[in-house]
Amino acid sequence: MSSNRVAVVVGVGPGLGAAVSRRFASAGFSIGLVARTAATCEAVQREIEQAGGRALSVPADAADPASIAAAFARVKEALGPAEAMIYNAGVFRMAGALELTPRELEDAWKINCLGGFLSAQAALPDMLARGRGTLLFTGATASLRGGARFAALAVGKFGLRALAQSLARELGPRGIHVAHVIIDGLIDTPRVRAMAPDRDAAALLAPEALAETYFQLHAQPPSAWTHEIDVRPSAEKF
């Protein structure tokens, strides 16, 4: 088993997940790339390896306990135990109260909330054994307020925020930094650009800038930990 520094990113997509992975890799971390779709992880893995870093792609279902446990075990065996875990998985289903089905609500909650719990459980034993580690959770505007037709997202994001608060109070005294990042705005991704091609770049969050926020949270000294931060573009109204 390697003794190098390892970060596991759960929910690697072409936007924030990829940017966070690249940022930690640029600081010398080996990266465990976890996502439902192998192709997404493998593209980021190639980028990291071409830049001289180390990464491992592991397809997994964030909402399945056995799948997540197996993914973390594979990363540990190949790269080493996680020093940082970034939970970035999420699903969005916009629907009214009479449109949304119980199954859709449950499935959204599993990815938006339960998966964060499962990922933390998988990463924590090694962190606690070392007496240090970082758990970072990606939140959203819906972490703070439930908009009309946003129940499926808000239920899970409210829960993820509560999970982060509980873990921070439990684990902070044991050396584990837990932080919740509220992303209050749209991230500049190919999908967003396709949906809103005329949107000003100043109104979008740059993935690389967001990734720097995540890395700096991990780098904070224990005497001055941030437990929640909200991030938005300068043009965003709040």
- Rounded to the nearest integer, the mean pLDDT of the chain is 95
Could you give the CA distance from residue 17 to residue 10 in angstroms, rounded to a whole number? 8
State the number of CA atoms in the 13 A half-sphere of 25 facing the CB. Answer: 26
Could you tell me which residues come within 8 angstroms of residue 138 by beta carbon, excluding any fewer than 6 positions away? 11, 16, 86, 87, 88, 90, 181, 183
The pLDDT > 90 percentage for the chain reads 87
Q: Give the ranges where the chain is alpha helix by DSSP (H).
A: 16-26, 38-50, 65-78, 102-109, 115-130, 151-171, 190-195, 207-219
CATH superfamily of 6-231: NAD(P)-binding Rossmann-like Domain (3.40.50.720)
User: 31: which strand partners?
Assistant: 7, 55
pLDDT of 235 higher than 70: yes
Least reliable range by pLDDT among 2-6, 26-30, 101-105? 2-6
User: 179: which strand partners?
Assistant: 136
What's the Cα-to-Cα distance from 122 to each of 83, 144, 175, rounded to whole Å?
Answer: 12, 27, 17
Q: How confident is the model at residue 215 (pLDDT cuts 50, 70, 90)?
A: very high
pLDDT of 209 higher than 50: yes
Across 64-89, average pLDDT: 98
Q: How confident is the model at residue 198 (pLDDT cuts 50, 70, 90)?
A: confident
At 146-193, the pLDDT tens digits run 999 999 999 999 999 999 999 999 999 999 999 999 999 999 988 888
Q: What is the pTM of this model?
A: 0.96
Short-list 125, 121, 113, 102, CA closest to 11: 113
Q: How confident is the model at residue 200 (pLDDT cuts 50, 70, 90)?
A: confident
The pLDDT > 70 percentage for the chain reads 99
Q: Give me the phi and psi of 31, to 5 degrees please.
A: -115, 125
Q: How confident is the model at residue 3 (pLDDT cuts 50, 70, 90)?
A: low
At 118-139, the pLDDT tens digits run 999 999 999 999 999 999 999 9
Provide DSSP, 124-161. HHHHHHHT-EEEEEEEEGGGT---TT-HHHHHHHHHHH
Q: Give me the phi and psi of 190, to 5 degrees please.
A: -55, -40
pLDDT of 1 higher than 50: no
Across 68-78, average pLDDT: 98
**Residue 29 near residue 5, CB atoms below 8 Å:** yes
pLDDT of 141 higher than 70: yes
Q: Tell me, what DSSP letter sits at residue 43? A: H
What's the Cα-to-Cα distance from 11 to each of 26, 28, 58, 91, 226, rounded to whole Å?
Answer: 19, 21, 11, 10, 22
Could you give the CA distance from residue 33 to residue 9 in angstroms, rounded to a whole number? 5
Short-list 77, 68, 59, CA closest to 118: 68
Cβ neighbours around 200 below 10 Å, total: 9
